[in-house]
Each structure stands twice: as structure tokens, then as C-alpha cells.
Amino acid sequence: MRNGWNEQFRGFMFAIAATAAALWVRTLLHPILEDRLPFGVFYLSVIISAWLGGTASAVVAMVLGMVAAAHFIIPPQSSLLIAEPADWVSLLIYAIVGAVTIVTFEKTRCEQREAEQRSCENQELTETLKRSDLQKDEYLALLAHELRNPLAPIATSVDLMARCRDDGRRFDALRRAVLRQLSQLVRIVDDLLDVSRYLQGKMRLLRDPFDLREAVGAAVEMVQPQIDERQHDVRLLIPDVAIGVSGDRVRLVQVVSNLLSNSAKYTPRGGRICIDLRAENGEAVLSVSDNGIGIADDDRRRIFEAFAQVDSSHTRDHGGLGLGLALVKQLCELHEGTVDVISRGPGKGSRFEIRLPLVELPTPSVRVVEKQESIDLESTSVLIVDDNRDAAETLSMLLTFEGMNATVAYDGPMALDLLRKQKPAFILLDIGLPGMDGYEVARRIRADHGQDGVKIIALTGWGGPEDRRRTKEAGFDDHVVKPVDPANLVSLLRGAQPQSA
Ligand code: ADP
């Protein structure tokens, strides 16, 4: 504000000085010009004021020029009276030319200001791009590190498994280590896919009214190995009555297990974790608190952003990709709920609290659960179609162990060719095949054989709702996402009941 006034004042000073200079020049020229061109030199003072002092300064210079010309040059002198029509015309021309000059200068000045602003914005944009490029590189390095973490023990275990084939106990321990690390890898990939799905607005919930206590129980069960490993003491404050919410059960288990797993991770060994679930003012309130490393005030908002971590240095103590809390926040919002964190600062523990709208749960009806007939897989034939030969061969080995007759094909035409010679009960079909993709293979099988006799199961890395819709349209009976859990696959096949085996 003060700066603005200073500038205005400077502008007026310019106008007065320029008009005075013009009047002095006009006085010097008076013997030559006499009464002619009374406003001539005052154009110069308007231009100089517009250039150096801005619009207001130029307007003042123009008015001062008019007064000076009327008073000092146009007869009768020493009076502001203008009697001659020729002088009125000169005054009019002076006013019009002066106004045009002022508008032109103002326009040029605006364009200049805009250009300067654009240049500043471009500079900021370049800086932001450079920063995000650097962040992307750092994040890729972090991702590589997080993926390598489970890969290293898998590689070592597989090598050791070959050496201690005869030592059953050790072999089993190694196998369990591989499975643990694999589930860690799957979790990283799932989190990345979830975040990307959410960012593209593609995340869908399968909502049903259910008791939130079930989600808490399932989450505790999931994180129990991590809690045991870190020897934490966990207290559960769960009410005896149901806490009904309308939600996606799987996703809410994910929310609670993310919070619990973070508490286990960011609390030093032997810490205390408390899970408190209650109903309050029409809301289901779940809090997970710990006496761990705590969170500084400045970081409290940031940690809910995707890829944000308080400590992302190479020397940090804890793994992770900074996706867990972003997913928690996004999933709570999709459930019309909120998540918040309270911490008294570093070293003073944290408390995460989620709030979801309470709903009335329907009274449970007595359901007659029909016993699903499960088929014996012994000698059942199955065709595995996958261009990844290792994936196809290992799956074939697994199903052969279950007593099935497994055949493999590495592309679509080979699969269709084999189908002409044999009639398998199941086809486990990859989608991303070279040349003819899995959708096309399924469509052709359905065109040739209809729905009779064969169950086609998609075995693919694509697991989004859109992918499932496409497989259904192409004639698949089921959709299984890789990496497949062998036990789940076998029970899926057992329950699938093909029409002919
Ligand atoms: P990640 O754990 O993979 O880094 P999250 O999104 O789950 O990613 O968490 C983001 C950050 O929030 C973590 O890096 C950590 O700094 C902080 N944080 C999360 N939970 C806790 C907690 N219970 N105590 C202290 N800090 C936490």
C-alpha cells in the first residue's frame, strides 16, 4: 500500500517536472512560434510522463499542459480563457492525441506485465518439473529397494532349498520364508495398483452393511505375525454390541490393518498398541494408538499424501513406499468417513482415528447354506495357456501333484490346436498372450464349443473391475489374479464343477 502511494507521488512529480520543462522550452521557442501550436511541446511532457510515471502521471501532465498553454501561451495571457475557435480545435486535438498516447502506453505496460508474469510462472513450472523429476527418480530408487528387499531372501532361500532337500525341517522353514516374502511383494504391487486406480477415479467399493468388529478381528489376525515379531503388547477395547457400517469389508480390513501395521512398524520393540472401537454420535469411531516414534506437527497433514514419508532417506529404519496412509484416507473418504491423526510430537506416540457413518444392521436371517459339491480332481484334464514358460510349467507341475492331467500351450493358436485333439475340463488362460490375446482365444473357444464341457478361467495380472468385466464378456467363467495361491486355485477347481470331465 505504502509502495503504491510512493509510486503515485513520484508519478505526479514527473508530470509537474515534465510540464515545467515543456513550458520552459515553449517559452524559449515563443519568439519563433508566437501564438501558433500552443500545445505542441506539451505532447512531449505527456509522452515522457506516460513512459516514466504511468497512466495517472500522464493524465496529470496532460491537464497541466492544457492549463499552462491556456494561461501562458493562448491570448489573452495570464487567464484560462480560450476565445478563438482555432485554439479550441488545437485543444481538442491535444486531448485526443494525449488520450490515445496514454491508452497505448497503458496497453504496452499491461502486455509487458503479463509477459513478465508468464516468464515467472514458466520459471516456477520448470522448477516444479525439475523437482518432481528428481522426486520420481528418488521414488523409483526407493521402489527398487523395497522390491529388492523381499527378492533377496527369496533368491537365497531357493538356492538353499536345493542344498537341503533331505533336511525336511529346514526345507519347510525356507519354504515359509519364501511365502512370507512373496506376500510382501504382492502387497507392494497391490498398493501401487490401488493408488493408481484411485488417482484415475477407478476404485469401486462392494458395500454391504456389516459389523466393523469383524474387520478389526480380521486385521488383528493379519498383522499378528508382525506384532509378535516385534513383541508388542496389544490391547483391544471392543464393545459387546455390533458396530454396523455400510462398507466394503475387504477394504475396511485393509484400512485397519494398514493402521495397525504402521503402529507395529513405527513403535520400538516391546511397545504398547491400543485398538479402541466405539459408537459415538451416530458414528463408528475406531482409534489405533501406540507409544511409538510419534509425528511432528509439520508432518501430520503430509503423511496422508501418496508417496509421502517423514523419513525417506537411505538410512531410514523402516521400509515402505508411503502408500498405506494415502490408501487409508482415500478408502475412508469413499466410505463417507474421515481419518485423523493426533500426536504430541516425536517420541510421544501417535493416535490414528477413523470415523464412519453408523448404520443399523439388519436382523440376521437364518440362512440355509447349501453344501457345495466338490469334485475330485484326480485324472481331470486341464490346459494351461501362458507365454511365460516357467509360469506354465510350474503350474502344470502343481496340478499334476494334485492328480490332474495337465497340458501346456504357449500361445493362442497352439491352445486352439490342442483343443481340437483333446477335451480338457478346465482351461487356465493367460490374457496377455503374443499375437492372439486371451480374450480372443476365449471367444473362439466359445464360438466352437459353446458353454459345453469346458470351464475357462482367466489367470492374469490384470485384476481391476474393468478387466473382470471384459473377461466375463469374452466368455470366461472365472477370473483369478496372479500370483495365484496354489491352495485357492485348487479349491476353486474343486468347486467349479465342469459339465463334463
Ligand atoms: P510407509 O509406512 O510405507 O512409509 P504410510 O503411508 O503407511 O507409508 O505412512 C506414511 C508415513 O507416516 C510413514 O513413513 C511414517 O513416517 C508416518 N507414520 C505412519 N504411521 C505412523 C505411526 N503409527 N507412528 C509414527 N509415524 C507414522
What's the confidence (pLDDT) of residue 374? 58
- Best of 298, 300, 309 to mutate for ligand 1, by most ligand atoms within 8 A of CB? 309
Whether 262 is in the pocket of ligand 1, judged by its Cβ within 6 Å, is yes
- Best of 289, 305, 325 to mutate for ligand 1, by most ligand atoms within 8 A of CB? 325
* Residue 429 CB neighbours (<10 A): 27
Chain center to CA of 100: 52
Contact 95, 61 (CB under 8 A): no
CATH superfamily label, 209-357 = Histidine kinase-like ATPase, C-terminal domain (3.30.565.10)
Please tell me the distance from the alpha carbon of residue 348 to that of residue 296, in angstroms, as a whole number.
10
Beta bridge mates, 236: 275
pTM beyond 0.75: no
Residue with CA nearest ligand 1 atom 11? 309
Which residue's C-alpha cell is 490401488?
A: 194
- How do the domains of the chain map onto residue ranges? 2-122, 149-199, 209-357, 381-494
What's the confidence (pLDDT) of residue 430? 93
CA 358 to centroid of ligand 1, rounded, Å: 27
What's the confidence (pLDDT) of residue 148? 83
Please tell me the distance from the alpha carbon of residue 294 to that of residue 110, in angstroms, as a whole number.
51
What's the confidence (pLDDT) of residue 364? 65
What's the confidence (pLDDT) of residue 335? 95
What's the confidence (pLDDT) of residue 63? 95
pLDDT digits (tens, 9 = 90+) for 66-97: 999 999 988 887 888 888 888 899 999 999 99
Residue 336 backbone class (left: φ over 0; alpha: ψ -120 to 50; beta: rest): left
**Cα separations (Å) of 236 from 131, 227, 231, 311?**
44, 13, 16, 29
* Angle formed at CA 293 by CA 291 and CA 298, multiple of 5 degrees: 120
Task: Report which secondary-structure segment, H or E, holds 99.
Answer: helix 85-163
Whether 273 is in the pocket of ligand 1, judged by its Cβ within 6 Å, is no
Whether 290 is in the pocket of ligand 1, judged by its Cβ within 6 Å, is yes
Whether 287 is in the pocket of ligand 1, judged by its Cβ within 6 Å, is no
What's the confidence (pLDDT) of residue 367? 54
What's the confidence (pLDDT) of residue 463? 77
Whether 325 is in the pocket of ligand 1, judged by its Cβ within 6 Å, is yes
Task: Report which secondary-structure segment, H or E, holds 283.
Answer: strand 283-290
* Angle formed at CA 407 by CA 473 and CA 178, multiple of 5 degrees: 85
Whether 349 is in the pocket of ligand 1, judged by its Cβ within 6 Å, is no
Please tell me the distance from the alpha carbon of residue 323 to that of residue 308, in angstroms, as a whole number.
7
Please provide residue 400's backbone torsions phi and psi, each rounded to the nearest 5 degrees. -65, -40
Given this structure, which CATH class describes domain 381-494? alpha beta
What's the confidence (pLDDT) of residue 142? 76
Half-sphere exposure of 248 (CA within 13 A, CB side): 17
Which residue's C-alpha cell is 509360469?
A: 391
Kindly give the parts of the chain with pLDDT less than 50: 498-501
What's the confidence (pLDDT) of residue 348? 93
Chain center to CA of 37: 71
**Which atom number of ligand 1 is nearest to the Cα of residue 326?**
6
Nearest to 409 by CA among 399, 391, 94: 391
